Amino acid sequence: MTTKKIAPSILSADIMNLERDVKIAEQGGADLFHIDIMDGHFVPNMSFSPSVVAGMRRVTDKPLDIHLMMDNPDDYIKAFVEAGADTILVHAESTKHIYRSIDLVKSLGARAGVVVNPGTPLEEVKELFPVIDQILVMTVNPGFGGQKFIPGMTKKIQRLDQLRQTSADDDFEIEVDGGINDETIVQCAKAGADIFVAGSYLYNGQDGFKDRVDTLKKLVED
Ligand code: DX5
Ligand code: ZN
C-alpha cells in the first residue's frame, strides 16, 4: 500500500506570485507539485515552458510532477528533465510510440508515467505496467482548471486498481487529475487512487490553504 499524496496544481496559482504560492503550498503540507504543460495543439490552451519548471526547482525541494499535454512530447522530454522534473507524465494519445516515450524518460533518469484521457480505455496502457512508475487517470477533459469531475471515472480508477492488484507489475501509483475537491476525493480514494491533484479547490484565495490540504488528507486516510 502506498501513502496518499496531495499535489497542488500550479495552473491555479497566481503566476505573478508563483514563489509565494509555492511556499504557501509547502507550508500547507503539499507532498509534491503538479505542473501542467500545454502546447495549444494537443489541448486548446497554453501554459508553462521548461524555464518555469527550472524556476520552480530553484524554490522548492518537493518532487515536481510534469504533466505533458503536448504533441510530439519526445522533443521536449529532455528539456523538462534538465529543468528539474522528477516525474514526466506522457499522454498515451499524444504519441504513436508511447513505449518509446516512456523509455526515453527512464533513460534520462526520471520517473515515468502515462496519462489516459477520459475516453481512452485502460487496455491501451496495460502493456506499460512493467515499465512505469505512475498512471494518471484524467477525471476531466485536459486543458483547463476548474472543470467538473466526470462521475464515470470513479469506476475506471477502480478497474485500474483491480488490474494493478492482479498484475505481477503492481509497483506504480495511481494519480487522479481534474475536479478534485472535498467531495470527489473520497470516491477516488476508495476506488484506489494514491495521488490527488487539486488546482482550483486548493488555490482558492491565499487564506486557508493548509486547512484545505488537511481536509483532503483527512478524507483519504485509510
Ligand atoms: C487539467 C489539468 C489539471 C488542472 C486541475 O487539464 O491537467 O492539472 O490544473 O485543475 P482543477 O483541480 O481545478 O480541476
Ligand atoms: Zn494536470
- Per-residue pLDDT 10s for the chain (222 aa) are 458 999 999 999 999 999 999 999 999 999 999 999 999 999 999 999 999 999 999 999 999 999 999 999 999 999 999 999 999 999 999 999 999 999 999 999 999 999 999 999 999 999 999 999 999 999 999 999 999 999 999 999 999 999 999 999 999 999 999 999 999 999 999 999 999 999 999 999 879 999 999 999 999 986
145 belongs to an annotated ligand binding site: yes
Q: Specify the pLDDT at position 2.
A: 56
Please name which ligand lies nearest the alpha carbon of 212: 1
**Spatial contact of 54 and 23, defined as CB atoms under 8 Å apart:** no
E strands present in the chain: 5-8, 33-38, 64-69, 87-91, 111-116, 134-138, 173-177, 195-198
Q: How far is 222 from 210, CA to CA, in rounded Å?
A: 20
Cell for 37? 504543460
Please give the number of the atom of ligand 1 that sits closest to the Cα of 9. Answer: 9
- ipTM score here? 0.99
CB 139, CB 178: distance < 8 Å? yes
Question: How far is residue 165's CA from residue 163's CA, in Å, rounded to a whole number?
Answer: 5
- pLDDT the model gives residue 31: 98
- Is 0.90 topped by the overall pTM? yes
Q: In the CATH scheme, what is the homologous superfamily, with its name and number, of domain 5-220?
A: Aldolase class I (3.20.20.70)
Query: How far apart, in whole angstroms, are the C-alpha atoms of residue 123 and residue 100?
Result: 18
From CA 222, how far away is CA 207, in angstroms rounded? 27
Strand partners, 7: 197
Q: Does residue 143 have a known ligand-binding role? A: yes
Q: Which three cell numbers stand for residue 92?
A: 498515451
Active-site residue flag, 177 = yes
107 marked as binding residue: no
Q: Which of 50, 56, 54 is nearest to 7 (CA)?
A: 56
Which protein residues are within 6 Å of ligand 1, measured from CB? 9, 11-12, 34, 36, 67, 140, 142-147, 177-180, 197-201
